[in-house]
Amino acid sequence: MDATQRLATLNRIRKLSRLMDTSIGIPGTRFRFGLDPILGLVPGAGDLVSTAFSAYIIYLATRVGISNQDLRQMIFNVALETVVGTVPLVGDLFDAVYKSNIRNLAILEKHLTAVEPEFSKIAFENEKSNLA
């Protein structure tokens, strides 16, 4: 996978992570949450759908070439959120606070920066232009 494809994959992961974990802000506060805890309110199916999105993000990270150690940490983050998320109400609150997809995005960005230092400059400039 070349740098352009890695950047496109990283941007796709960013969008999905933010959609699931930080897309909705509570007015008057700095707290943000995403679709993950909302989907968790649907008994059974909601947690399954959230886990499927998280698994897709991990799949995309494997295509970028994440290390096995980082991959294990990403899987742990999703597994923890999935297990705790099955507890009614408390699990949904945990989903809103823990944000496994954003944690996994940070792991991936750290990995990419360590492997290819010049990639971080390109990714940062691309991210900045996407926010403008």
Q: Is residue 82 part of a domain?
A: yes
Q: Is the distance from CB of 6 to CB of 66 less than 8 angstroms?
A: no
> Would the pLDDT of 129 be above 60?
no
- CA 59, CA 117: separation in Å to the nearest integer? 23
Query: What's the pLDDT tens digit per position in 40-74?
Result: 888 878 889 999 999 999 999 999 989 999 999 99
The candidate with the shortest Cα–Cα distance to 37, out of 103, 89, 106, 105, is 89
Q: Is residue 81 part of a domain?
A: yes
Give the pLDDT confidence score for residue 131 in this predicted structure.
52
14 CB neighbour count, 10 Å cutoff: 20
Give the pLDDT confidence score for residue 45 in this predicted structure.
87
Query: How many domains are contained in the chain?
Result: 1
Q: Is residue 89 part of a domain?
A: yes
Q: Is residue 20 part of a domain?
A: yes
Q: How far is C-alpha 60 from the chain's CA centre?
A: 11
Q: Is residue 16 part of a domain?
A: yes
Residue 101 dihedral angles phi and psi, to the nearest 5°? -70, -40
Q: How far is C-alpha 9 from the chain's CA centre?
A: 12
Specify the higher pLDDT residue, 7 or 52: 52
Q: Is residue 71 part of a domain?
A: yes
Q: Is residue 19 part of a domain?
A: yes
Query: What's the pLDDT tens digit per position in 102-123?
Result: 999 999 999 988 887 776 666 6
Query: Which range marks the domain in which residue 16 is found?
Result: 3-25+33-125
Write a three-state SS string for 31-86: CEECHHHHHCCCCCHHHHHHHHHHHHHHHHHHHHCCCHHHHHHHHHHHHHHHHHHC
Q: Is residue 12 part of a domain?
A: yes
The residues, any chain, with a CB within 8 Å of residue 126's CB and separated by 6 or more, are 7, 11
